[in-house]
Structures are given as structure tokens and as C-alpha cells.
Amino acid sequence: FYSYPLRAFEALGNLGIWRSTLCMASYAKAKLRPNPTVRSFEDWVVNQFGHKLYSIFFKTYTEKVWGMPCDTMSADWAAQRIKGLSLGGAVLDGLKRSLGLNKRPNDGMQTKTLLESFRYPRLGPGMMWDAARDKVLEHGNTILMGHALKQLAEDSTGRWRVTATDRDGATVTIDAGHVISSAPMRELAGRLHPLPTTLPQASALRYRDFLTVALMIKSPDLFPDNWIYIHDSKVKVGRVQNFRSWSPEMVPDPDIACVGLEYFCFEGDGLWASSDADLIALATKEMAILGLCDPAHVTGGVVVRQEKAYPVYDEDYRDNVDALREEIEARHPTLH
């Protein structure tokens, strides 16, 4: 296991002198002879850190998350997700942490990926949406829960007819001057009336789905971290969350730990289609493989599935998004 943000002496001990030397040589090569044509995630990371560090710390986990080779992913995701992070900055920060030279946990940090502490809602991020709901209701507005959008139709005057159905199939129609959408762009395009001419580009947009297996374990606690990123290709899990480390109020029973094993998949694939019982068994088995708990201590589990959790940054995504956005902005100025 490696701490993150890195601690220099711990990382050196885990890698060993020989592999550390190879990493530095690979980094030097990348800086002396960088790839001039950066198109993929692999190109970007190798240019920043060298091929050796890329293969150890980036390749396996990233491919597990996105379900595609790193050389087919757009470099845009790397530039956004690890913007501002460099090997020199990471090493310097790691040395300061190892030597206790940071006066505060985030002392001098400009790079978000190196932050050691941050605020977190005491009952989880759902509290943010509860607060947003309350703000909407305070202003005399209405929220319809459990409704599915069926169509967004704009009339000749520029007003919108929004059609939705509830869980029983009953139809609701709303008249609106402006519409704000947070839906995936592919689904939004398919519900516009008339359909956009860029529907083929919208249909080409892809999404990565996600499921969490929450295990209840008879143990006061398992590890102090709020999450552990799993690079090991021998297991399917991508990340393990320890909910009590986020906030003790999220796991009120002091004798029971609750961890969430995160799996990245595509809707309809074998992992997504597995039964809850099979997924709980898989998560229990993989916790044992990782040495994080004794399977006999697992007392139960719950599976939560989330469709379209992440937009896929493939090589064509930017052109497809730009084409759809330009048409919507030109034809529907009141759709935001």
C-alpha cells in the first residue's frame, strides 16, 4: 500500500532502490524526448511522469475504471483530473510530509490531487441535495420526485412543453419558458422534439456505469483511510470506501464497520447483470484477497447501482459534444 498524497520514504521503501532508479531514468527519458503528438491519456501521462511510473500507478487502475485501453482514451481527462500535478511537485510534497515540514495538512497546496484534508458532509453528500431541495421549496416552487422525462418540445413562440410520467405511468405536462437540464447529453438529445440533426453524434456518446457493494463487517474499524484505490488486476474492485472514516455519524454502531466496494462496468455486462447475492459474495471474497477483512466477519451487504455515472472520454467525444452543444445553443437558446 502507498499513502496518497505520497510520502517519499514510504514510496522509496515500497518500490525499492532498483525500481525507483528505473522510474527516474524513465522520467528523464520522457522529459528529454517527449511525445510531440499528445492524443491519448497514455501519451499525456507518459510525457508527465515517464512510462515506468505510468505503468505502475496509472495504467491498470485507469483501465479498470473506464473499461478501455489507455491509448484509446482522450488526453483531456488526464489534463482535467490531474491538472497541475508533476513528478517534481509530488516528490517535493512527499519529502515535506515525510520530514514533517508541512505546518498544516494542506500547507501551500495548489494542486487539488495533493490535498490531504477537505470538508465532507457529516451524513454524506446527499445532504447537499437535501439542502438544494429545501432552497427550491422555500421559494414556493414544486419538486416532482419519481418522474421520468419523456419529451421536451419547443413551440413556435419559444415556450417549452415538458412531458413526464410518474411510477404509475400517469402523464404530467409542464409549460415552461426556460428549461435547465442535468441529464446525460445522449438522453437529452433523444427526448427533444423535433429531434436534433446531431442525434447521430449524441448517440455515439458513451457512459460508464457504476455499482457499490456495501458490506457490514463485525469490526470496530478496518483501516484509517477514507478510501483505498485498488490497482491490482487480480481483483475487479476499483476502490474501497470506509464510510466511518468519512464521518462517524454515517456508521453509528461502534461494533460494525461499513465499507463500500466500487465496481465500474457497462450496463448489461456480466458484472452489472449479476445478482445482489453474487455481488456481495464477490466483494467479500475480494476483501479477503486484499487482506482487508476475514470473510467470516461479514454480516450482510447491500448493492447500489448507478447508471451513466461517468461520461467516457474516448477520442471522438469532444467533436460529438461540440456538435450537439452548438446546435442546441443555436436552435434552443432557452434550454440550458
Report the predicted TM-score, pTM, of the whole model to 2 decimal places: 0.83
Burial 154-185 (b: 16+ CB within 10 A, else e): beeeeebebbbeeeeeeeeeeeeeebeeeeeb
Q: Is 181 helix (H, G, I), strand (E, B) or coil?
A: coil
Q: Is residue 32 part of a domain?
A: yes
214 pLDDT tier (thresholds 50, 70, 90): very high
Q: In this structure, is residue 296 part of a structural domain?
A: yes
Instruction: Look at residue 159 and tell me if it is in a domain.
Output: yes
246 with 223, same domain: the answer is yes
Measure the CA–CA gap between 253 and 251, rounded to whole angstroms: 6
Q: Is residue 176 in some structural domain?
A: yes
Residue 99: per-residue pLDDT: 47
Q: What is the pLDDT of residues 146-182, one digit of tens each?
A: 999 999 999 989 999 999 999 999 999 999 999 999 9
Q: Confidence class of residue 4 from pLDDT cuts 50, 70 and 90?
A: low
Same domain, 110 and 15: yes
* 53 plus 68 within the same structural domain: yes
Residue 223 in this model has a pLDDT that exceeds 90: no
Both 155 and 30 in one domain: the answer is no
- Per-residue pLDDT at 87: 57
Comparing 211-215, 217-221, 263-267, which segment has the lowest mean pLDDT? 217-221
Residues above pLDDT 90, as percent of the chain: 63
Residue entry with cell 416552487: 141
* 114, 147, 168 - which closes a domain: 114
Domain match, 324 and 305 both: no
**169 shares a domain with 30:** no
In a domain, 121, yes or no: no
Query: Could you tell me if 192 and 63 lie in one domain?
Result: no
Number of domains in the chain: 3
Residues 214 and 295 in one domain: yes
Does residue 212 share a domain with residue 198? no
The confidence score (pLDDT) of residue 188 equals 96
- CB contact at 8 A, 82 and 112: no
Q: Which domain holds residue 198?
A: 128-205+317-331
Residue 100's pLDDT is what?
Answer: 55
Q: What is the CATH number of the domain that holds 263?
A: 3.90.660.20
Residues 286-300: tens digit of each pLDDT: 999 999 999 999 999
